[in-house]
Structure 1
């Protein structure tokens, strides 16, 4: 008997109130499996067939530190990890801990959008400001591993979002802010991010499989 094909996305549910809408959306999406974070140690992550592991800023990072070998093994299968938040435990391969930004005025929060399909057509002001207030999108950075591709920067050139294709056999996307997949229904250019990011993830996973076959 062949195994049941898994959902593409595995979303870890931190149980936080601020993640409830994301969890509800995941439960309604056949491409997503929602898993309580504390079920991860007993879950067959390597055998389930998921392509993407999605983890937000409210995750129990002490738990993730205990599961770091499983996370690396998932990546080494040619899969993708997306983490959004502030890393304070070293459970992501190649990643450094979060560094808060010293803020002198609201211009320090200005986001520079670099050329990448995830952020195509996205205007800096639409993600720098939320209802006229700066600082919601990102308030610091993670120093990037060698060879990583930076996609967004703060005003002092600190990297907000990066892609790491070198620390494992998979791909790691780290964003020092909220879940980018949620940016879908805004009445400005930031609403493009969610769909464009999802498309990138599928294309990146296919590229990983192609590279694996060629290797």
Structure 2
């Protein structure tokens, strides 16, 4: 049985349909509860242990209610930020910086370590989509804490996805890339991301639980 109980802030943008994921088949995400982004300050978040924030979110509103984010994390929970952060609402992550490029090859990525949720994913299939380079990621967030674990990076070492476990009592996944949970279908290796990430969530929640009981 899964440990995670996910709430995803719904930005109400054109790339979602009735709370569905933007993936190949646009299948419903039955394991995710969608919450209107403007209800974050009034909703009861106690039953959830993972919050997902994606692109097109109102970051001015998140910044105004950043204490809700910090409180959620300090309860030993996880926040996933698949977006370009331009206001300091997320502990442990710097503000987004676009990738400086001279060639489409500058967007090529590589795993920063083995045994992550990118295992088995062909980096060329992730970098290019329908001939477009940089569809998955086009920039980065500076790592604030040197203890952060870098998961995915450009080939020049610039981080794309990193995990911070020191800024709060919870875990932050800062990712300047597309929503992990939408990479669940398709005909290439990128469909491995969503299930492997879900498995990682379970492991991380168990780690946080064990740490809080010590």
What is the TM-score with the length of structure 1 in the denominator?
0.90
Shift of 1:183: 0.6
- For the residue of structure 1 that corresponds to 2:200, the secondary structure is helix
User: Counterpart of 1:4?
Assistant: none
- For the residue of structure 1 that corresponds to 2:162, the secondary structure is strand
User: Counterpart of 1:123?
Assistant: 122
Moved >3 Å (runs of 4+):
25-31
Shift of 1:151: 0.8
How far apart, in 1, do the equivalents of 2:27 and 2:43 lie?
Answer: 18
How far apart, in 2, do the equivalents of 1:175 and 1:15 lie?
Answer: 21
Consecutive unaligned residues of structure 2, counting only runs of 5 or more, are none
Higher relative contact order (CA 8 A, sep 6+): 2
- For the residue of structure 1 that corresponds to 2:81, the secondary structure is strand
Correspondence list, 1:161-176, <5 A? 161-176=161-176
Matched, 1:13 2:10: yes
User: How many pairs does the alignment contain?
Assistant: 205
How far apart, in 1, do the equivalents of 2:135 and 2:47 lie?
Answer: 34
User: Counterpart of 1:24?
Assistant: 20
Shift of 1:186: 2.0
RMSD: 1.8
Q: Does the 8 A contact of 1:27 with 1:33 survive in 2?
A: no
Structure with greater helix percent: 1
Consecutive unaligned residues of structure 1, counting only runs of 5 or more, are 1-6
User: Counterpart of 1:152?
Assistant: 152
User: Counterpart of 2:196?
Assistant: 196
* Closer/same/farther in 2, CA of residues 106 and 29 from structure 1, 3 Å limit: closer
Shift of 1:24: 2.4
- For the residue of structure 2 that corresponds to 1:55, the secondary structure is strand
How far apart, in 1, do the equivalents of 2:89 and 2:67 lie?
Answer: 8
Q: Does the 8 A contact of 2:92 with 2:172 survive in 1?
A: no
How far apart, in 2, do the equivalents of 1:28 and 1:132 lie?
Answer: 27
User: Counterpart of 2:86?
Assistant: 88
What is the TM-score with the length of structure 2 in the denominator?
0.90
Shift of 1:29: 4.6
